[in-house]
Amino acid sequence: MTESSRILQDIRSHLGDSALECSELHASAVMVTVAPGDLPDASAFLDKTLDARFVISAGTDFRRAGKGFRVDHFFSQDRCKTWVVLRAYTSAEDPKVGSITPRVPAAGWAEREFQDLLGIKAEGHPDPRRLVLADDWPEGIHPLRRDVPYNIRPEPANNVAQPMAVPKGNVVVVPIGPFFPVLEEPAFLKVFVEGEEVVGLDYRGFFNHRGIEKLGDSKLTYNEIPFLAERICGICGFVHSTSYVQAVENAAGTDVPLRAKYIRSIVLELERIHSHLLWLGIAGHILGFDTVLMQTWRMREPLMWLMEKITGNRKTYGMNVVGGVRRDIPKESHSEILETVGKIEREWLKVISAVIDDTPLLMRLSKVGVFTPQDARDLGSVGPTARGSRQPIDTRIDHPYAAYDRIEVRGIWKDSCDVAARTLVRLEETLESIREVKQLLAEMPERPIHVEFTEAIPPGLEGISAVEAPRGEVIHYVLTGEDARPYRWRVRAPTYANLQALGVSLKGMSIADLPITLGSMDPCFSCTERVQVVDVRSRSVRIITGRELSDMARRRWDRAGRSRR
């Protein structure tokens, strides 16, 4: 009997009659449907008894098919490597479900999100304020409903109050954001301070919500979405395209060639190396230790050049398509990859010993931003944030994908639950990634690198896929639809899970520790700008347009190609 069928049996016997329907979605994913009112009890059973970790929720509009709205709560049973989907249908006229947040605190944001975007009310939610929609967005327009066009632009309203917490008593409000020196992405933390001590805070974010999920299920096709998915993040975009194509492949049952899986793993690990190097630099900068920033970014740069050679792009690689990858990593480039990561490895070992021996640095990292294992579990933290708090979760091990079931993956966990632990996890993971890259390159099987994928998948199939991003677990869920595009595409980035835990780890600490605690979660940021060129000799300033920039890139690529030949 497989693990997933055993879990199904467990659920069936425990939930009894309240389980309306139980089935297997695909290998390692099971689904159980209950009545909307039974969601809290069922979720508590999954969370507490079955020890399945809540990951995300998704709401879907099925009104055209006459089935009202659907709410899915996704759980991960890590030991059995199985996804559990808890499902409920609710009426089209008065969509509401029982809120699971009082029982499963990690679901707080996810429920607020479907409340905003689909208008499905989560009854009994302790904090039903808006999460995603702007404060001046009109009531009653829920963008993810199928009858709302993707390009809707309601009139902006003025003087809309921001429903944020008001401080009690004699405290000072310190506004961190929406733009703050070390927060490169817009987010607003209203921090209440007594002296130097943080006594409370409130969060408002989602200023840059771009409606990517909506675009995916209304404009793009299966093989166009990977390129949009990769643009969700400016640091670890490849995890999103990989996760998305794997979700479609899982749904369609596509058999991806082994070499493509190896290439995905190699690129993912190289991406993790660059991301962790980048993170250490930022962490140093947050503490005023700019030498760390300058040196790690210097070390990182050759890796960016390497990626440009392998994939054609410095950062947003554009390698993934459903069914495989677009470019091979030929034998000739192996030596260069090994040389680049080998150089990083040698320098990184020195960095690690420097960090471990640096007393002032450890004074700033140890016992700061303490996040207990219980909090990490309850609030659904993922990635190094969780692994620094004794949570042995790593998607590469829990839900093996790409080539990770064929190589040895060593999970790195630490005990001290503070910023120092999260730092050490990332430091050691970088070495582990380098080792994995070497093993993957050595064991790479023969071509092909992709199979033909015609975008003709029957509607109604479902696929879940998770990828271990540098920041934690990325989850993509795809429900196939008509017109060669998903009916529903759901994305959960790791920062979504980790940011919710922020309030817990910040209370009672010094305002000086706030930036590094926030930074220790490695909140994801991205930025794009046009380029300005200043000619020093003539002192003229010229703006380069997007077209010129792409022409320049093309010329440079041609030159690089010539020199290679």
Determine which residue in the list 127, 135, 290, 551 makes contact with another protein, applying CB under 8 A. Answer: 290
In the beta sheet, which residues pair with residue 288?
A: none
Stretch near another protein under the rule CB under 8 A, chosen from 24-32, 168-176, 255-263, 470-478: 168-176
Measured CA to CA, the distance from residue 533 to residue 540 in angstroms comes to 8
Stretch near another protein under the rule CB under 8 A, chosen from 38-46, 224-232, 290-298, 547-555: 290-298
Contacts with another protein, 467-506, as mask; x by CB under 8 A: ----------------------------------------
326 and 320 Cβ atoms separated by less than 8 Å:
yes
Contacts with another protein, 79-98, as mask; x by CB under 8 A: --------------------
Q: How far is the CB of 364 from another protein (least distance, A)?
A: 5
Residue 141: both structure tokens together:
């327009």
Q: How far is the CB of 286 from another protein (least distance, A)?
A: 5
The number of C-alpha atoms within 13 Å of 189 and in the hemisphere containing its C-beta is: 23
Residues in 172-191 at the binding interface with another protein, rule: CB under 8 A: 172-175, 180-182
Residue 116: both structure tokens together:
């905003």
Would you put residue 186 in left (φ > 0), alpha (ψ -120 to 50) or beta? beta
Residues in 240-279 at the binding interface with another protein, rule: CB under 8 A: none
Per DSSP, the three-state class of 215 is helix
- In whole angstroms, what separates CA 519 from the centre of its chain? 16
Q: At what angle do helices 419-442 and 334-357 cross, to 10 degrees?
A: 160
Residues in 352-391 at the binding interface with another protein, rule: CB under 8 A: 358, 360-361, 363-364
How do strand 82-90 and strand 29-33 relate by DSSP bridges?
parallel
Q: Which helix (H) or strand (E) holds 175?
A: strand 172-176
Residues in 412-451 at the binding interface with another protein, rule: CB under 8 A: none
Q: How far is the CB of 190 from another protein (least distance, A)?
A: 11
With CB under 8 A as the rule, give the number of residues binding another protein.
32
Measured CA to CA, the distance from residue 48 to residue 155 in angstroms comes to 45
Q: How far is the CB of 441 from another protein (least distance, A)?
A: 29
Residue 56's alpha-carbon distances to 76, 256, 499, 541, in angstroms, are 10, 27, 14, 48
- Furthest CA-CA distance within the chain: 80
Q: How far is the CB of 175 from another protein (least distance, A)?
A: 7
Q: Does 512 bind another protein (CB under 8 A)?
A: yes
Q: Does 508 bind another protein (CB under 8 A)?
A: no
Determine which residue in the list 213, 345, 513, 522 makes contact with another protein, applying CB under 8 A. Answer: 513
Residues in 294-333 at the binding interface with another protein, rule: CB under 8 A: 294-295, 298
Contact set with another protein (CB under 8 A):
172-175, 180-182, 193, 195-196, 284-291, 294-295, 298, 358, 360-361, 363-364, 510-515
